[in-house]
Amino acid sequence: MTDLPASVHARSLRATRPVQATRAPAALRQLISMLIDLGAIWVAFWLAYLARYRYEIGGEVFSFNQRAFGEFTGRIALFTVFFLVLALVRGVYRISTWTSLLDEMGLVAGTLTIAMGGWILTAYLSQFSPSRLLFVYAWSIALGLLFLVRVIRRRARESLWARDIGVRWVLIAGNGHSGRRLMQMLMATPGMGLRVAGYVDPGHGRTSLAAGSKRGVVRAQRLGSLDDIPSILNRTTVDEVILALPSDDQARSLEIANWCRAAGVPFRVVPDLLQLSLDRVQLEEISGVPLLSVRAASIRGANAVAKRTIDLLGSILLLIVLAIPMTIAAIAVRRTSGGNVLQRRAMVGRCGVPFTQYRIGASMADPAAPPSWIQRSHLDGAPQLVNVLRGEMSLVGPRAQTPNQTNSYQDWQRPRLLIDPGMTGLWFSNGHTDLTFDEMVRLDLFYAEHWSAWLDLKILLRTAVALFQGRPRR
C-alpha cells in the first residue's frame, strides 16, 4: 500500500474519531458569526442615531423631535431578533465555504431588508415615529458593516488556508471521469478550504494525479486500493471521504459508506448518472415519483427578452463611456502601425451563424512583442460593443470561436453554440488564462442553464474587478 504524502503524515494519527468532533467547531463558528453580526447591527444603529440626531445629517431636527438613544434600545433588540430568526431560516450561517461574496451579500442584504421592513411595521403599529432617515441610515450602515465583516473574515480564512490551517482533508474514492474532475477542481482552487489527502481506486493505475493551480502544479497521491480505506481512516485524520465510483458499483459504495460510519468520518457521494454534471440535473416529481431531467443549455422566452434588453442598454452606455478612450486608442494604432485601425475576424455566433467580429488593430500585433497599453487594458475588444448592438454577440456569454475551432467540437461541446458569444463570461471572471477549453465549455453550459439577470450582473462586476487588477490575457 502506498504511504500517505508528507503533508498528511505530519498530522496526528488516531484510531477513530466521533462525528461530534467535526460538528462542534462548525457550531462554534456559526455562534461567533452571529454574535459579530449582532454587534455590527448595534453599531450601525448607534452611528445612524448620531448621524441623524446629534449631527442632524439630512436636515435640522427640532427640539420637540429629539429622542434619546435609550428610547431605541428595546426596538433595536427587537430588530436583532427579527434579523437573527430570518438569517437562520434563510441559511445565512449555513452557506458553504465556496459560496461567492456576491452571493452571500445578496442573501444578507435580502435578510436585512426584510428585517428592516418588519421593524418599520412594528414602529408604525406602536405609533413610534422617529426620523425616517434613521431607517435609511441604519440599513445602509448595517449593510456596509456586514459586508466589511465578511470581507475581513474571508481574508483571514484564506490566509489561514494558505498555511493549511483549518482546512479539511478529503479522501477521494475513485479515479474515473468524475473522480479526476473533482480532484483537479479541488487542487486548482485552494480557496475552498479543502485539500486532497489522496485518492484510492479499484485498480493499479497511476501513482499520482497532477493539476495546475495558482500555486503551480500540485499532485494527489494514490494511497492504495478501495480495500485499504479502513486502514487509511484508522491511521490518519481524514476529515471527509467523497465517493466517485461508477453507478454499476453500488455495492462497493455501500460498503465504503459503512466503513466511513464505523470510523465516524463524514462522506458524500458524486452520482455517476451517464456522467452528467450535477448542475445540469433537475429533480422533479409526479405524485411522489422522482424524475430527473437535464436542463437545456439555452436562454429562451422571457429570459431571452430580458437578456437582450440588458445587452442593448449596457452596450449603449459603455459605448458612450468608452468613446473617448476608443478614439485615443484608434489614433495610437494609426500612428504606430499605419495600418487599419479596425480589424475584422470571421467568428461563429449563435446556432453556428457566422458573423464579423470587430477589434482595434492592436490585437493583431506580433505575439512575441510585449503587450501595449491597449492590450493590457483589454480596450482592443471594445468595438465588440457594436456586435452586441447588432445582436451578433452579448455582453456576457461563451467566448467567441473561429469556424476552424467550432468544426473540431465534440458532440457534448456543441450546446455552447445555442447562445450568443459574449465579450466576457464565466470563462473570464474565473481566470481564462488558467482554464482548459473543456473547463471553459463546462462553465459556458452552466451559465446557459442557470442564466439570470443577477448572474449577468455578478459576471460584469467580476470582470470589472479583473480588468482593474490587470488580469493577463491569453
Mean pLDDT of 239-251: 84
Residue partners of 435: CB distance under 8 A and separation at least 6: 427, 443
Mean pLDDT of 22-39: 80
Burial class (CB in 10 A: 0-12, 13-18, 19+), 335: exposed
| Least confident span in 94-108, 228-242, 396-410 | 94-108
Mean pLDDT of 192-212: 77
Residue 358 near residue 384, CB atoms below 8 Å:
yes
Residue 83 near residue 34, CB atoms below 8 Å:
no
Query: How far apart are alpha carbons 425 and 394 in whole angstroms?
Result: 10
Pick from 216-225, 310-319, 365-374 the range whose average pLDDT is largest: 310-319
For residue 7, pLDDT over 50 is answered with no
Backbone dihedral angles phi then psi of residue 125, each to the nearest 5 degrees:
-65, -30
Q: For residue 374, what pLDDT is reported?
A: 82
Q: Which residue has the cell 490575457?
A: 473
For residue 288, pLDDT over 60 is answered with no
Query: How far apart are alpha carbons 267 and 357 in whole angstroms?
Result: 48
Q: Which helix (H) or strand (E) holds 171?
A: strand 168-173
Q: For residue 211, what pLDDT is reported?
A: 58
Can you state the percent helix, strand and coil of the chain, rounding each to 5? 55, 15, 30
Which residues is 286 bridged to in the sheet?
A: 289
Q: Which of these, 343, 439, 340, lies nearest to 399 by C-alpha position? A: 439
Q: Which of these, 186, 190, 199, lies nearest to 228 by C-alpha position? A: 199
For residue 27, pLDDT over 60 is answered with yes
Kindly provide the residue ranges of all beta strands, DSSP E only, lying in 361-444, ordered along the sequence: 394-396, 422-424
Q: For residue 10, what pLDDT is reported?
A: 37
Q: What is the pLDDT of residues 130-174, one digit of tens each?
A: 999 999 999 999 999 999 999 999 999 888 888 888 888 999 998
Residue 119 near residue 75, CB atoms below 8 Å:
yes
How do 422-424 and 394-396 pair as beta strands?
Answer: parallel
All domains in the chain, ordered by first residue? 20-162 (no CATH), 167-275 (3.40.50.720), 301-468 (no CATH)
Mean pLDDT of 40-49: 97
Burial class (CB in 10 A: 0-12, 13-18, 19+), 451: buried
| Least confident span in 1-5, 11-15, 334-338, 356-360 | 11-15
Percent of the chain exceeding pLDDT 90 equals 39
Q: Which residue has the cell 445540469?
A: 280
At CB < 8 A and 24+ separation, what contacts does 436-440 make?
438/413, 440/398, 440/399
Query: How far apart are alpha carbons 337 and 380 in whole angstroms?
Result: 14
Helix axes 453-468 and 301-337, enclosed angle (nearest 10): 20
pTM: predicted TM-score of the whole model, two decimal places = 0.59
Count CB atoms within 10 A of the CB of residue 367. Answer: 6
Kindly provide the residue ranges of all beta strands, DSSP E only, lying in 299-440, ordered along the sequence: 342-348, 354-360, 394-396, 422-424
Q: For residue 324, what pLDDT is reported?
A: 92
Residue 409 near residue 384, CB atoms below 8 Å:
no
Query: How far apart are alpha carbons 316 and 455 in whole angstroms?
Result: 20
Q: For residue 339, what pLDDT is reported?
A: 67
Q: For residue 18, what pLDDT is reported?
A: 35
Q: For residue 99, what pLDDT is reported?
A: 80
Residue 415 near residue 442, CB atoms below 8 Å:
no
Pick from 75-84, 161-170, 265-274, 407-416 the range whose average pLDDT is largest: 75-84
Average pLDDT, the chain: 82
Residue partners of 147: CB distance under 8 A and separation at least 6: 105, 108
Q: How confident is the model at residue 470 (pLDDT cuts 50, 70, 90)?
A: low
Residue partners of 385: CB distance under 8 A and separation at least 6: 315, 318, 319, 322, 423
Q: Tally the C-alpha atoms within 13 A of residue 329's C-alpha that lie toward its C-beta.
A: 24
Query: How far apart are alpha carbons 164 and 166 in whole angstroms?
Result: 6
3-state DSSP call for residue 342? strand
Q: Which helix (H) or strand (E) holds 148?
A: helix 132-162
First-to-last alpha carbon distance for the chain, in angstroms, is 42
